[in-house]
Structure 1
Amino acid sequence: MRPGRPHDRPATRRGPTRRARRVALASCGALVLLLTACTGGQTTDASPSTLPPHVSVELRQLRSDVASRWAQVMITNDGPTALVVGGVRVDDPRFDGPAERINDRESTVRAGSTVAIPVQLPAVACPAPDDATPTVTLDWSTTDASGTATARLTDPLSFVPPLHARECRAQALEAAADVTISAFTPSAPGQPADLSLTITPTGDGDAKIVAIHSTNLLTWAGHPNVDYPLDVVITGDGTAPVEVHLPMIPLRCDPHVVQEDKRGTVFNVDIELDGEPGQIQLAAGEEMRGHILTWVGQWCGFPN
């Protein structure tokens, strides 16, 4: 047998050698890397009843959403992996029921991105507390977890309070009168079209329809860029319906303004109710909106 050398000593039970320890540590490191790769680098510390880490939510209303009374739940995912969102419901005591997702589908919010999910706003609840706190409940899943979470929903542009005030005011006005955009008659280029309002007293109160505003697209012949005075007084003694004819012309003839129109046919109307001034909104229906935009294009001479 060859003479022994120091590193050829028989193994003792005093513990692993340095080389063995290095091999063991390397193996553990490889296992950690493997597990991290399998989970996409994401820990599973999210409870099924809370939003995953790095996910935030807020509520906004786009200009194009006003006429249809939609809002958008904005979901931002700052985490390392994609988030899949299914059902979405917004609860707010200022509305008479939940605002629910319009499309029955799933949305993928990729890492580092934001997705807007539209919800249909229900009728407002009047009265309602001024300090109401909306929440959103959504079904979510990632590659390694899933759940249904409820979270506080911020309103960074604060669109809900004025919307609630306007629509509660409109509900109160309905006790005295029904105010509608009832007809539209187009005109030849250079001549005003006719937009008709019908104001029908309901016999349950007094009110005054003071004036109607121009929009970013439409204004009034003889009253450009200012309010068109109406001064229709409604009393609760059975006053007959009143029809008002408004001489309407385009405020501008930029093709991109018509093509990108969002609120051109939504009119602000000044009213007085129980002696208190306020404002409501009147929006043309989708069919009438299409007729108005077509007329603007013809009036302005846009190419077909």
Structure 2
Amino acid sequence: MRAGRRAAGLLAAAAVALATGAACTAPDDADRLPDDVAGHLSAELRQERTQYADRRAVVHVTNGSGSTVTLVGGTLDAPGYGPSSPDGHHRPRTLAPGAGRDVRIRLGDVDCDAAAPETLSGADAQTTPVATATVRLVPGEASAAPGADGGSGDTGTAVRVDVTDPLARLAAVHAETCAERLVASGLAVRVTDVRAARVRTPDGVVDGGRVTLAVEPVPGGPDVRLLQVAGTTLLSPAAGHAWSGDDLTPGADGRVVLDLVPARCDPHVVAEDKRGTFLPVHAEVNGARQPEIYVPMSDEQRAATYDLVHDACGWD
């Protein structure tokens, strides 16, 4: 495996050398990328929780050279993914020596027939590339660099850079997406209602809420069984443990009703919420347990969740 990684690194280095060589043949010296830049770039994949649902991310590019350049744009090439796309308009950014800048992207379509990027841990996750990026650079500062006024990513010198993924987000997104597709091929699960309610807990009946799920088998699909629905940063099962077993058996109307209470009652939990309205679901398909997937709420249901937490916690 290590030999394979070294070989991949040599290939990436060769690509960088070719890209840099191409820049050196440019007829106008003002457009040439300094020779020592390409070999001193590094990149890291980052994805915040607010970006999970839309499969957005950033490639954080660091300039380890002694030259100031302008980062015009970039794309990500990762195993198990199709081509990435820009996430909005990327403004050319000055990349000074030692500085880092983000290229905002949308991850490419997940290919479930292809192997996912490697999941690494510890020092390996910090230093071992699992993907590559093609970034576009022009010499000098953003305000003065030739060709840096468009921001389309189509100008500048293309440089291929190894990308690390310290939190293994590429592997996680690949696993989650493929599990979502497999579960959905046999069972459609969606939130249909969120409302405040009096619910029974081990300590008695209290103010809480109810989330209703529609659970509909897909004709001709595989056998899918819900194993567990876990709580979130906002919501906890009223019974005090994850919903499972009989809790997840649909009624005659194909509905599953989950009684819940606020997970916490400090107001900043709602004010800073990012993933509290995505229900974590564990399921098995044809007897095989799948990676955890998430069932989202609509904007209206999200607002209803915040309201019921507000009321149950007794905030003014």
CA shift, 1:83, in A, is 3.5
4+ runs of 1 displaced by more than 3 Å? Answer: 51-54, 78-83, 130-133, 186-190, 230-234
Aligned length: 252
Identity among equivalent pairs (%): 27
Q: Distance in 1 between matches of 2:99 and 2:138?
A: 16
Tell me the alpha carbon deviations over residues 205-242 of structure 1, each in whole angstroms, 9 at most, x when there is no partner.
2111111001122111122xx211155579xxxx9862
CA shift, 1:291, in A, is 3.3
Does the aligned pair in 1 maintain the 2:55–2:106 contact within 8 Å? yes
The one-letter code matched in structure 1 to 2:111 is A
Does the aligned pair in 1 maintain the 2:193–2:211 contact within 8 Å? yes
The answer to whether 1:141 aligns with 2:151 is: no
Q: Distance in 1 between matches of 2:253 and 2:60?
A: 44
Does the aligned pair in 1 maintain the 2:80–2:110 contact within 8 Å? yes
Normalized against structure 1, the TM-score is what? Answer: 0.72
Partner of 1:167: helix, strand, or coil? helix
Structure 2 stretches lacking a partner, 5+ long: 1-28, 119-129, 147-155, 200-205
Tell me the alpha carbon deviations over residues 104-163 of structure 1, each in whole angstroms, 9 at most, x when there is no partner.
232424433323333222442112124575221222223178412222222121122232
Alignment of 1:143-158 (within 5 A): 143=140, 146-158=156-168
Q: Distance in 2 between matches of 1:121 and 1:230?
A: 36
**Pick aligned residue for 1:172 from 167, 177, 182:** 182
Alignment of 1:216-235 (within 5 A): 216-223=233-240, 226-230=241-245
Partner of 2:164: helix, strand, or coil? coil
Structure 1 199/156 Cα, relative in aligned 2: closer, same or farther at 3 Å? same
Q: Distance in 1 between matches of 2:45 and 2:254?
A: 39
Q: Distance in 1 between matches of 2:198 and 2:102?
A: 41
Tell me the alpha carbon deviations over residues 39-69 of structure 1, each in whole angstroms, 9 at most, x when there is no partner.
9xxx9215xxxx6353211112212222222
Q: Distance in 2 between matches of 1:72 and 1:263?
A: 19
1:45 matched residue in structure 2: 35
Q: Distance in 1 between matches of 2:197 and 2:269?
A: 20
**Pick aligned residue for 1:245 from 240, 244, 257:** 257
Structure 1 87/294 Cα, relative in aligned 2: closer, same or farther at 3 Å? farther
Q: Distance in 2 between matches of 1:56 and 1:79?
A: 10
CA shift, 1:80, in A, is 4.3
Question: Considering only CA atoms, is the larger Rg found in Structure 1 or Structure 2?
Answer: 1
Alignment of 1:1-304 (within 5 A): 44-46=34-36, 52-95=38-81, 97-111=82-96, 112-130=98-116, 133-143=130-140, 146-187=156-197, 190-203=206-219, 204-223=221-240, 226-230=241-245, 242-278=254-290, 279-303=292-316
Normalized against structure 2, the TM-score is what? Answer: 0.70
Structure 1 stretches lacking a partner, 5+ long: 1-38
